[in-house]
Structure 1
Amino acid sequence: MKKLLAILILCQSMCFAEIFGVDDRLEAFEEMPSVLRQNLRSSVALVPKNRLSITDNGVSILSNSLAETLRMCENSRFSNQPLLANCSGSLVGNDTVLTAAHCLPDDKQESCDEYYYVFDYEVGGDGKVKTLKKENIFECQKIIHHDFDTFFSKTGLDLALVKLKRAVSDRTPYKVNFSEISNGDEIFMIGYPLGAPKKVSHGATVKDSPFKNSFSSDLDTFSVNSGSPIFDRNTGDLIGVLVRGTGANLRSVGQCNDWSYAEESGFADGNNLLSIKEILEGIND
């Protein structure tokens, strides 16, 4: 439990970001271009084990809503949805998940055991969170890669790869593109902002490359988006992972909170995948 609290504090201090311009984040059931929709199913939520009850009768969510937990205003988008996830990730092999390394404090077994890896945590067309299925909930067998430049002073890397206890048989791992990322490239992202169900952030572009291994963008991101897969808007290929950002997550509106909006100086940083190219190519051979 102490380690999980440490992870929560670290994520809250590193993963801030905000909405750039209009809040155009999409729910999984909403209309969207096919290049976005085809990538929905292989996004995964990292959920602390004490937030789910898994029995013979099914799966129950044990966490409160964003409104209850974060005092979000009743009319704020998604405020009635649960705060369940603690990080985001993506399926990059039949039994392998890619996420941000700061979501897992180290590569030890205790870190491996902190989370369930949950697919299809999303809202359906009726506006309700879909019932989670036991067959879509996985556990970590071991952490096979962990590279975290804590103060982002050297490499800027923040990537981890997790091997699951069993293979994921009903969805396809993302196709990874290791090509150079350039300013102006159109991108989108899938993740779980502030622990809410799956959202698609789109209409964004690459803005800068502060490190050899990183790039900045104007994606709409928040805490718990850490580890979210970032995609090329034209091809749908996986090109990076959301690892850090600026901003305050929430802004005070009277007696409650609403989503925060970015200033021009704000940014969201992603790592490209060149540093783990050899590992990923080996996984998918």
Structure 2
Amino acid sequence: MFLKSLCLFSLLLISTACSDNPLLLNDIAKKRDQVVYGDDDRVDYFNSSSVHEIKMSEATAGIFLSSDLSETAEHYYIQRSYLGKEYGLCSRERFYYQSVGPRCSAILVANDLVLTAAHCIQDQSVCDKDELKFNFDYKLKNSFDVLDYLKKSETYSCKRLLYHSDSFQEDFALIQLDRPVVGHKPIQSFQKLEQTNLENKLGMVGHPLGLPQKIARNGQLRRWSNFSGILEIDAFSGNSGSAVYNEDSGALVGVLSKGETDFEDTGECLKVRNCKSGECSGEVVYFLTKLTSIIERYKLDKNQSFDKPIPQRPIIFSSFFEEEIPDGNYKGLKSKLRVNLLPEGKNVYIGVEIEHEWIGDLKISVVTPGGKEVLLRNREVWKAKNFEGLFGINLVSASSLSPLKEVDQKGEWTLKVIDTSRGDRGKLLNWRIVYYQ
């Protein structure tokens, strides 16, 4: 897909919600996409001498599908190919002949507890059926190293899904492993939200496209809120759940969730997409905010239950295509989003993220495929220049959202944003439709 920034992670949620396959991590790998910004700053583990990078690397795990592995007495052999063949890449692409294996990434935060993105694991049944393996040694030790199997001593299973939240404000899962991890120290330092700012230089460790562990450097926050940020960093599918950390302090900042499309099609092969700074929509990182207290409580008592139950997963349809809002034009902006699933009685919420010099001028509504228009906002005063949230959750809708749950037609939804006065400019950064029981 080659639109500037149309995010398809909504489709993966539809797949995981409706399919008999509880993981579909292959679909996740293709749809929770990312991209290269400027120069490709990814390096292999053996090329790093940074204390912080090595510490983060040693605590990073690749998440494998058990169905991608064949078991022997001491090893799991990987039943996947090399990067170029797996993705149909052009032969000059970096890491073309390196093997691929993991479908997501995770980070060790206690001796038997890993943190990853919630969309990488659906529910407790994945643990019960032993459908995932977590390996801490899928990285190249030198330029001649070949990885075609996993040592069982470095490979762990999922015991308990401790915390799981895949929502507008979070994409986190905390997973208790089947035994304490040996030979790898968990990350102990977590960055507080008030320490996060646009000056932070951020790094990331994970498994882009399922490759042996890669370290991405020189990440830069473009903007951020209380729970997430837009980050420019060289990331790809497979980096979902990757640790994002402060390069200066080594503190864990959050985990990567989703972003830009990986590739461009030349007609004969795929090449990695390259974005200049500020050109593309960026990668989404979710900050730890609430999780640090849960992790600390877990360390004190591993058998306790936690406040937030594992909820039914929302079904999310999203557009990250940035669009200018016409200034003082009553025709306004009409942003389209195609939805191929009916709500069937589920609650429907509308999420928006808008930057505008005067939010108070805006009138916002949503139109269903059948033509029903629901007013969401009608020129209410808003002092900040950023407007972000979910109508029906943390934003108050100007009219009832109940008619949306009765929609009986699949097809094109429209978000209408009208700037009612001249002199102030802004843009719609993204919007989404959320089905949730």
TM over 0.5: yes
Does residue 43 of structure 2 align to residue 26 of structure 1?
A: yes
Give, in whole Å, the separation in 2 of the partners of 1:35 and 1:163: 24
Aligned-residue offset at 1:82: 2.1
Higher relative contact order (CA 8 A, sep 6+): 1
Cα distance, 1:111 vs structure 2: 5.4
Matched with 1:133 is: 151
Structure-2 residue corresponding to 1:161: 174
Q: SS of the residue aligned with 1:38? A: helix
Q: Contact 1:177 / 1:237 at 8 angstroms: preserved in 2?
A: yes
List structure 1 runs of 4+ shifted beyond 4 angstroms.
Answer: none
Q: CA RMSD in A?
A: 1.9
Q: How does 1:103-118 map to 2 (within 5 A)?
A: 103-105=120-122, 107-110=123-126, 113-118=130-135
Post-superposition offset of 1:163: 0.3
Q: Residue in 1 aligned with 2:263?
A: 250
**Distance (whole Å) between structure 1 residues aligned to residue 69 and residue 146 of structure 2:** 14
Contact 2:263 2:270 in 1 (8 A): yes
Q: 1:19-44 CA distances to partner (integer Å, 9 max, x unpaired)? A: 00001200011144222122211100
What runs of 5+ residues in structure 1 fail to find an aligned partner?
none
* Cα contact 2:191–2:251 (8 A) shared by 1: no
Which residue does the alignment assign to 2:273?
Answer: 260
Uncovered stretches (5+) of structure 2, i.e. residues with no partner: 1-18, 301-437
Report how far residue 267 of structure 1 moved.
Answer: 0.5
Of 219, 222, 225, the match for 1:207: 222
Matched, 1:54 2:71: yes
Matched, 1:198 2:195: no
Per-residue deviation, 1:52: 1.6
CA contact (8 A) 2:223 2:230 kept: yes
Find the aligned partners of 2:112 and 2:80 in 1 and give their Cα distance.
27
C-alpha distance in 2, partners of 1:123/1:225?
Answer: 17
The aligned runs of 1:142-153 (5 Å cut-off) are 142-149=160-167, 152=168
- Counterpart in the other structure of 2:232: 218
* Structure 2 Cα separation of the partners of residues 63 and 4 of structure 1: 20
> Does structure 1 conserve the Cα–Cα contact (< 8 Å) formed by 2:67 and 2:131?
no
Give the Å deviation of 1:206.
1.7
Structure with greater Cα Rg:
2
Give the drift of 1:83.
Answer: 2.4
Matched length: 276
SS at match of 1:231: strand
TM-score of the superposed pair, with normalisation by structure 1: 0.90
Matched, 1:80 2:97: yes
Instruction: Provide the residue aligned with 2:421 in structure 1.
Output: none
The code of the aligned residue for 2:251 comes to D
After the TM superposition, which of the residue ranges 177-186 and 189-198 deviates more from structure 2? 177-186
Match of 1:127, SS state, is coil
Distance 2:107 2:211 in 1: 16
Deviation, 1:123, is: 1.6
SS at match of 1:280: helix
Match of 2:202 in 1: 187
Mark the CA change 1:12 to 1:4 in structure 2 (over 3 Å): closer, same or farther: farther
Letter in 2 for 1:205: Q
Amino acid in the other structure paired with 2:197: S
Give 1:4 deviation, angstroms: 5.0
Equivalent-residue separation in structure 1 for 2:214 and 2:162 (angstroms): 27
C-alpha distance in structure 1 between counterparts of 2:226 and 2:234, whole Å: 23
For 1:146 and 1:58, how far apart are their aligned partners in 2?
A: 30
How far apart, in 1, do the equivalents of 2:20 and 2:145 lie? 32
Change in CA separation of 1:124 and 1:75 when aligned onto 2, cut-off 3 Å: farther
**For the structure 1 residues 52 and 10, does the alpha-carbon distance in structure 2 shift closer, same or farther, using more than 3 Å as the test?**
closer
What is the CA–CA distance in structure 1 between the aligned matches of 2:246 and 2:170, rounded to whole Å? 20
Q: 1:142–1:163: 8 Å Cα contact kept in structure 2? A: yes
Match of 2:186 in 1: 173
Deviation at 1:235, TM superposition (A): 1.1
Identical positions, percent: 27
User: How many Å apart are 1:261 and its aligned residue?
Assistant: 1.1
Q: Is the 8 A contact 2:255 2:285 kept in 1?
A: yes
Q: Is the 8 A contact 1:184 1:207 kept in 2?
A: no
Bigger Cα displacement from structure 2, 269-278 vs 123-132: 123-132
TM-score, normalised by the number of residues in structure 2 = 0.60
Taking structure 1 as reference, are residues 127 and 234 closer, same or farther at Cα in structure 2, changes over 3 Å only? same
Hey, what's the Cα distance between the residues in 1 that align with 2:75 and 2:190?
Answer: 37
Please tell me whether residue 37 in structure 1 is matched to residue 54 in structure 2.
Answer: yes
